[in-house]
């Protein structure tokens, strides 16, 4: 048995040699080569067909997978929008407008549509059920989230807590956002922390006549001294409680200082004026804050806030007066990053 170059076997019999008919051998080679060529062509054609088939299968998988992902995301989005729709009616905020809004925000700011829909649910839950109002709040919240490196749901929570608490002041969401950026920049806090904690202290502050920008400035000033945002919020809440219900020691110390230490005084003077009345009293000393603000939380925070005659607080308030455009400036910086552009592309 011998093998030619195509791997096919053939036999050369002795009688062929004996008869001297070597031409038959040549013919055997010729026939075999011809057959091998034909087989090779058929195999090649078959492989090409298999290759094309596999290519189609691969292409099919390449198409099916994205379609499956898209279908899953579409299903999630429709479910999220259905949940949003339970909070309002088709006249006030049509589902079609909801869908367009979340998709537009997703493309502009880089969050998934489902994430935007969940944030929209929070927005409407907070009382912004009109389509125009909800769109305005969501737009500001997205800017706050992008510029402040937080999620849009947290941004919505922070903005709506402040705006609903200070509803009588008819605040603009962008103005609140600008104030938050000043507080972040001048203190040792983040937009996420501010948005998460502001709800704990804003109602009490508003009730005592403390303006929202004063509140953010106070948080910023205290955190700049190394006290974290959560402790600052708790301490400010405790301090306000001390003002509302002064202890006997606080009343005695206020009388010695020659000041009025009461909720009425705080409302009439504002936070800045109220603090000045304490620190600028000729009889102010190292024990004054501990006597006026009896709780440990309040003492710690108010000591930081009134240090050097509230120098840091007053400096932040000066920045607050020029806060317009702070959100836009922060967003512009973040939009240039590769991460943000990648999220938008995705």
pLDDT tens digits, 246-293: 999 999 999 999 999 999 999 999 999 999 999 999 999 999 999 999
126 and 239 in a single domain? The answer is no
Question: Which DSSP string do the residues of 17-81 spell out, in sequence order?
Answer: HHTT-HHHHHHHHHHHHHHHHHHHHHHHHHHHHHHHHHHHHHHHHHHHHHHHHHHHHHHHHHHHH
As a whole-number percent, the residues of the chain with pLDDT over 70 amount to 79
Region label for 226, one of left (φ > 0), alpha (ψ between -120 and 50) or beta (otherwise): left
- HSE (side-chain half, CA atoms, 13 Å) at 18: 3
Q: Domain for residue 217, yes or no?
A: yes
Residue 37 binned pLDDT confidence (cut-offs 50, 70, 90): low
What secondary structure letter does DSSP report for 326? H
Neighbours of 242 (CB within 10 A): 20
State whether 306 and 180 are in the same domain. yes
pLDDT by residue (tens digit) across 182-222?
A: 999 999 999 999 999 999 999 999 999 999 999 999 999 99
Backbone φ, ψ for residue 2 (5° rounding):
-125, 160
- pLDDT reported for residue 91: 76
In a domain, 251, yes or no: yes
88 shares a domain with 226: no
Q: What is the largest CA-CA distance in the chain?
A: 141
Q: Is residue 295 part of a domain?
A: yes
Tell me if 179 sits within 8 A of 235, measured CB to CB.
Answer: no
Give how many domains the chain has, as a whole number: 2
Tell whether 211 is covered by a domain: yes
DSSP 168: G
Q: What is the pLDDT of residue 220?
A: 98
Given this model, what pLDDT does residue 87 score? Answer: 87
Domain span at residue 145 reads 81-149
pLDDT at 71: 72
Q: Is the pLDDT of residue 62 over 80?
A: no
How much is the average pLDDT of 117-126? 96
108 and 208 belong to one structural domain: no
Distance CA 270, CA 165 (A): 17
Range of weakest confidence among 87-91, 238-242, 268-272 = 87-91
Same domain as 236, residue 174: yes
| 206 lies in some domain | yes
Q: At residue 11, does pLDDT exceed 60?
A: no
- Record the tokens describing residue 64, joined without a space: 């099916």
Cβ atoms 181, 330 nearer than 8 A: yes
Q: What is the pTM of this model?
A: 0.78
Strand partners, 9: 3
> Is there a single domain that holds both residue 197 and residue 299?
yes
One domain, residues 170 and 297: yes
pLDDT at site 51: 61
Q: Is the pLDDT of residue 14 over 80?
A: no
173, 318: one domain: yes
Position 10 pLDDT exceeds 50: no
Beta bridge partners of 3: 9
Q: Residue 185: which residues within 8 A CB-CB, separation 6 or more?
A: 319, 326
The answer to whether residue 20 sits within a structural domain is: no
For the residues 286-307, what does the mean pLDDT come to?
96
Residues 316 and 174 grouped into a single domain: yes
* Residue 143 sits in the same domain as residue 175: no
- Across the range 325-341, mean pLDDT stands at 90
The larger pLDDT score, comparing residue 342 to residue 157, is at 157
CA 262/CA 225 separation, integer angstroms:
26
Closest CA to 332 of 157, 146, 63, 130: 146
130 and 276 share a domain?
no
> Measured on CA atoms in the order 121, 124, 129, 133, is the torsion positive or negative?
negative
Q: Which residues pair with 10 in a beta bridge?
A: 2
**Rounded to the nearest 5°, which phi and psi values hold at 10?**
-155, 160
Is the CB of residue 5 less than 8 Å from the CB of residue 40? no
Asked whether residue 316 is domain-assigned, the answer is: yes
């Amino acid at each position: 048995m011998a093998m030619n170059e195509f791997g096919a076997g053939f036999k050369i019999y002795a009688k062929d040699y004996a008869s001297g008919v070597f031409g038959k051998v040549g013919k055997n080679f010729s026939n075999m080569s011809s057959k091998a060529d034909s087989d090779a062509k058929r195999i090649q054609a078959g492989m090409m067909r298999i290759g094309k088939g596999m290519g189609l299968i691969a292409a099919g998988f390449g198409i099916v997978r994205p379609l499956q992902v898209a279908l899953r995301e579409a299903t999630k989005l429709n479910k999220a929008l259905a949940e949003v729709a339970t909070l309002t009616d088709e006249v006030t905020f049509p589902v079609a407008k909801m869908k367009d809004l979340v998709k537009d925000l997703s493309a502009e700011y880089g969050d998934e549509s489902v994430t935007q829909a969940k944030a929209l649910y929070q927005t409407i839950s907070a009382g912004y059920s009109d389509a125009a109002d909800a769109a305005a709040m969501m737009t500001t919240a997205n800017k706050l989230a992008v510029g402040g490196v937080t999620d849009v749901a947290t941004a919505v929570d922070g903005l709506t807590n402040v705006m609903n608490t200070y509803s009588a002041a008819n605040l603009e969401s962008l103005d609140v956002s600008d104030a938050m950026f000043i507080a972040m920049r001048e203190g040792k806090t983040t937009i996420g922390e501010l948005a998460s904690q502001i709800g704990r202290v804003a109602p009490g502050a508003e009730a005592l006549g403390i303006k929202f920008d004063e509140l953010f400035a106070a948080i910023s000033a205290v955190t700049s001294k190394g006290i974290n945002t959560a402790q600052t919020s708790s301490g400010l809440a405790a301090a306000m409680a001390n003002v509302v219900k002064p202890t006997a020691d606080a009343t005695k110390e206020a009388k010695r200082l020659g000041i009025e230490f009461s909720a009425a005084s705080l409302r009439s003077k504002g936070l800045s004026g109220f603090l000045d009345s304490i620190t600028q009293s000729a009889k102010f000393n190292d024990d004054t804050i501990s006597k006026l603000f009896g709780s440990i939380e309040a003492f710690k925070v108010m000591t930081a806030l009134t240090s050097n005659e509230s120098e840091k607080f007053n400096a932040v308030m000066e920045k607050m007066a020029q806060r317009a455009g702070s959100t836009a400036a922060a967003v512009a910086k973040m939009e240039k990053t590769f991460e943000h552009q990648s999220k938008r592309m995705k």
